[in-house]
């Protein structure tokens, strides 16, 4: 089973800390596969009333511009 099966939304990571896609709060990385081919990380919102979980993957085009 892949991450797209488990999560409805996948976001592109950038050089800024991840924020929740629902409420904008900061997030905690709960699973880090940044060493993988697509740089996958699973985040959980730190806002107790939200708790949204989502996946980020590295934006290879953005990384190439740095």
- Count CB neighbours of 63 within 10 A: 12
The pLDDT of residue 64: 56
| Structural domain includes residue 66 | no
| Structural domain includes residue 27 | yes
At 20, give phi and psi (nearest 5°): -65, 135
The pLDDT of residue 16: 85
At 53, give phi and psi (nearest 5°): -115, 140
One pLDDT digit (tens) per residue for the chain, 66 residues? 444 455 677 888 877 889 998 999 999 999 998 888 888 899 999 999 999 999 999 877 655 554
- Total domain count for the chain? 1
Range of the domain at 12: 3-61
Answer whether 0.85 is exceeded by the pTM: no
């Amino acid at each position: 089973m892949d991450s797209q099966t488990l999560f409805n939304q996948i976001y592109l990571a950038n050089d800024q800390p991840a924020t929740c896609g629902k409420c904008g709060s900061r997030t905690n990385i709960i699973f880090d596969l940044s060493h993988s081919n697509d740089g996958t990380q699973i985040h959980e919102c730190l806002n107790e009333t939200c708790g949204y979980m989502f996946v980020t993957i590295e934006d290879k085009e953005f990384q190439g511009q740095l």
